[in-house]
Copies of this chain bind each other. A is one copy, B any other.
Amino acid sequence: MNNIAILGASGYTGAELVRLIATHPEMNIVALGADRKAGLAYGKVFPHLRHLDLPVLQKIKEIDFSNVDLVFCGLPHATSQRVILALPEHLKIVDLSADFRLRDPAAYKKWYGGDHAALELQKIAVYGLTEFYRDAIKSARLVAGTGCNAIAGLLPILPLLHENLIDSDQIIINLASGVSGAGRGAKEGMLHSEVSEGFHAYAVGNHRHLGEFDQEFSLAAGQPVTASFTPHLLPQNRGILATIYLHGDAEQIYQTLVARYDDEPFVYILPFGEASATRHVRGSNYCHIGVVPDRQSGRVIVFSALDNLTKGSSGQAIQNANLMLGLNETTGLQLAPLFP
């Protein structure tokens, strides 16, 4: 049994970690940190989890980490790096913030607008895209979870860049995401009255997850790649669908993805010509990828669907934690999607 602490437990990614760990046979939550809600029972903050026997929320600096094995850190960007810098050396850490995703300090500064406060940690952090960094994750002290949008684009595209199957100058990632990705903070734009019965794009051309696309695509292609990425907000809580327009041969792309993900426990390639749907992965750690040829020969549309709170953040975090703790990678993550 591994003792777990969750910092930033009062947000949606925190609650999703608790939900998943509730039926994880090898993890035991011993501390829940949330500075502003310290002193509250967790069931007060998230009444859907009131049936669980959980520690009371604590201020982070009052947590006793001596018997903790691994920390999940669901704190806001910028805060996270400062808190992690102060954590005891013996802890394994999975960070769900953006603070350690970008390896290049200049890229970090470009996308997040300030100097990094923990440059030494940034150097040793491993990018948490399990399917591509599995071995490094197993021995990492600090793993940086991917952006929830980033993983939806990276999983289908990276193998194609590796194999040089697509024109790297013609990558368009059109993406739509559920509201829960915006977190539990009270913002006018996330009110039910504003979001429901509507659809729009945001952060066109300047979304921070572009930093991850640039980093990973360029590495895979062996040359700088500048993808186009347009996120939209869906009137639903969970789910990301990436609709990806590429120049390449559809059959070849399909076979490559089938071969690449054949052994992966959470990535499914749909039958050729079938499109993915977010409702088919809701609440689960699965990613469904579909390949459909465009009517113009030499072009293809690739769909990638996952749950932003599960495979996009907290499920992925547990998948990585399983590896870091020497557990079977799928432990506690085989919950079937909830539909309808």
Q: Which A positions have Cβ atoms within 8 angstroms of B?
A: 12, 15, 18-19, 22-23, 46-52, 172, 174, 176, 179-180, 182, 184-188, 190-202, 204-206, 210, 226, 228, 230, 232, 234-239, 241, 243, 245, 268, 275-284, 286, 288, 292-296, 299, 301, 303, 305, 334-340
Contacts and interface: CB of A to CB of B under 8 A. Distances in A.
Nearest to A179: B192
Given A186-B191, A193-B237, A198-B236, 16 more contacts: A23-B334, A50-B268, A172-B245, A174-B174, A179-B193, A179-B340, A186-B190, A198-B282, A199-B277, A200-B277, A202-B275, A205-B292, A205-B295, A228-B294, A228-B299, A230-B301
A196 to B, nearest CB: 6
Contact of A237 (B12, B23, B197, B238): B197
Contacts of A241: 199-201, 232
Contacts of A338: 19, 48, 282-283, 338
A196 B236 contact: yes
> Which one of A50, A187, A279 has the highest number of Cβ atoms from chain B below 10 Å of its Cβ?
A279
A235 B275 contact: no
A240 to B, nearest CB: 9
> Which one of A48, A172, A186 has the highest number of Cβ atoms from chain B below 10 Å of its Cβ?
A48
A180 B22 CA distance: 26
Contact of A335 (B179, B206, B234, B335): B335
B176 A191 contact: no
A198 B159 CA distance: 27
Given A51-B286, A283-B283, A196 B192 contact: yes
Nearest to A339: B48
Given A192-B190, A234-B234, A239 B280 contact: no
A291 to B, nearest CB: 10
Given A237-B193, A239-B197, A275-B201, A184 B188 contact: yes
Contacts of A283: 283, 338
29 contacts: A19-B337, A22-B334, A22-B336, A23-B335, A48-B336, A48-B339, A49-B337, A176-B176, A176-B232, A179-B193, A186-B187, A186-B190, A190-B192, A191-B192, A196-B236, A197-B237, A197-B340, A199-B278, A199-B279, A200-B275, A200-B277, A201-B241, A201-B275, A201-B292, A202-B275, A226-B296, A228-B245, A228-B295, A235-B236
B296 A340 contact: no
Contact of A47 (B22, B230, B280, B294): B280
B193 A301 contact: no
